[in-house]
Amino acid sequence: MIDDAAADAAASGAVGGVLDPEHPQGTFVLEPGVMAPLVARIATSEGSGMHRSMCPFTGAPLVTFPVSSAEDVAASAVRARVAQRTWARVPIRERAGVLQRLGRIVLERQSEALDLIQLETGKTRRAAFEEVGDIAQVARHYAVRGERYLASRRVRGIVPLLAGVQVHRRPVGVVGAISPWNYPLVLALSEALPALLAGNAVLLKPDPQTTLTALWAAEALDDAGLPAGLFQVVAGGPDVGEALIDQVDHIAFTGSTATGRKVAARAGERLIGATLELGGKNALYVTDDVDVDTAVPGIVRACFSNAGQLCVSTERLVVHEAVAEEFVAKFVRAVRNLHLSPALDYSAEVGSLTSAAQLDKVTAHVDDALARGARVLAGGVHRADVGPYFYAPTVLDDVPAQAVVMREETFGPVVTITRVDCDEEAVAVMNDSEYGLHAAVWSRDTARARRVAVRVETGSVGINDGYTMSWGSVSAPQGGWKASGLGGRHGSASISGVTRQQTVVTSRGARFGATLDNLYGLGGETPSRVITTALEAMRRLRMS
């Protein structure tokens, strides 16, 4: 628990609740020297207001910090534009060097990052380490492959040999990122790193609950050698996010579909690009030939990692009836044995929900399902004995289709079971959703699983894997279909979103008078006849 001195100091506006290494179960001591430099990085002016965040493990105050105003956001954008003009002229390999150093720093300083992530989100240390590992991987990927993604490319011109065409990528300028609370390090940097590599500046507005982790990321980038002004953090709520959209040249938003629609609408009014990763109601299909004992541990992780507060986690289990009895029995047994704990070490398997609002939502979804006739096979209770926002990992069966938990994203440790009798029915059930973010198929027959996967209407599908392999394959795009988003992150998709394309065409025949302008200058039908003959020849030769 937070000691009284830390709680009193936080309530009075001081900052600095951090883990005391002598008390690994969660006692905090006040260390202003640690927190004050982080909070000082917030782009803010006097009188903009204050925000107090809470520790999910205890419900007690964690830190109070100043928030930014619309004027602060505008001033930050001005600084960013000045810095970006110089940064865009820095050779790509030098920009890549910053990312390489960042990856090393994140791994070297992982202990302090893990502490902050846990204190702000309530997640287990295992789930927190996913963030550290992911950012190290993403930083390395773009440092190594970024130059190739940004390289100019040659394409065929209108007249072979006489027209030289090059397509270049140029940074858009200032990229805005609005990140949620559930993965505060990953979602603060996964959009920012490719944007910075491409020559942009970045303005980040994290969720107020996880602002400290975002500020830690800013400090790490500074230590990696990123010039001042290129990565700034503006703090606050929706009003700060709205102000941010009005100042940037591309907006990357991760959050709910409802808010994503508003972000897209404002971006459309300004004619700027938008990358949106939104909600999901992800399904996982267990086929009749699955090796149950092998599958259960991975499927448990797919459903309950980060207490289900993960955009690509599984919320709907679709199980072939031929294996349902065995699978459900072993799955439920494993879920009941999961260890819930607020410990700031690697002993916990399931952590806390991050806020009272999340607890209320999860409880409402479960209560609605039970009122409609669903059965609880595991969980279904608020574990206040562990911490204020802990909820037992929950498995629901016999859930009617009209239940809220079957249609809306729960974003908590709750999974439903639906039985099917064939692959065809499984695909229909998986696609029966307004969302299309992620899915998974578990089968011994990977060829069969791939045939199912390509029929599922989602941006990514894992085979014999919940989400780790697909999310971690950072060369491949990750994004949603339907109401789950627009655009994508990872690989070249992230670079495409934060760059503009420019086509430069050179007429090589000018010195010989062989340009199309000269041809048209002949007058009469001659140009038409010559072009018709050329086009017909190109058609016969199947020239593109």
Long-range CB pairs of 108-117, under 8 A, 24+ apart, other chains included: 109/220, 112/216, 113/185, 113/213, 113/216, 115/18, 115/19, 115/344, 116/212, 116/213, 116/216, 117/184, 117/185, 117/210, 117/213
- Cα 413 off chain centre by: 19
What was the pLDDT predicted at 26?
A: 44
Instruction: Give the model's confidence band at 161: pLDDT under 50 very low, under 70 low, under 90 confident, else very high.
Output: confident
Average pLDDT in the 63-78 region? Answer: 95
Cα angle, residue 124 at apex, residues 120 and 129 outer, rounded to 5°: 90
Structural domains in the chain? Answer: 68-278+493-497 (3.40.605.10), 282-477 (3.40.309.10), 516-544 (no CATH)
Backbone angles phi, psi at 487, to 5 degrees: 70, -165
Per-residue pLDDT tens over the stretch 36-64 = 788 889 988 876 799 999 999 999 888 88
Instruction: Give the model's confidence band at 526: pLDDT under 50 very low, under 70 low, under 90 confident, else very high.
Output: confident
Per-residue pLDDT tens over the stretch 411-452 = 999 999 999 999 999 999 999 999 999 999 999 999 999 999
Q: Is residue 536 among the annotated active site residues? A: no
Per-residue pLDDT tens over the stretch 105-153 = 999 999 999 999 999 999 999 999 999 999 999 999 999 999 999 999 9
Catalytic residue among 120, 131, 191, 277: 277
Contacts of 347 (CB under 8 A, 6+ apart): 339, 341
Hey, which bits of 311-388 come out as E strands? 314-320, 375-378
Rg (C-alpha) for the chain, rounded Å, is 26
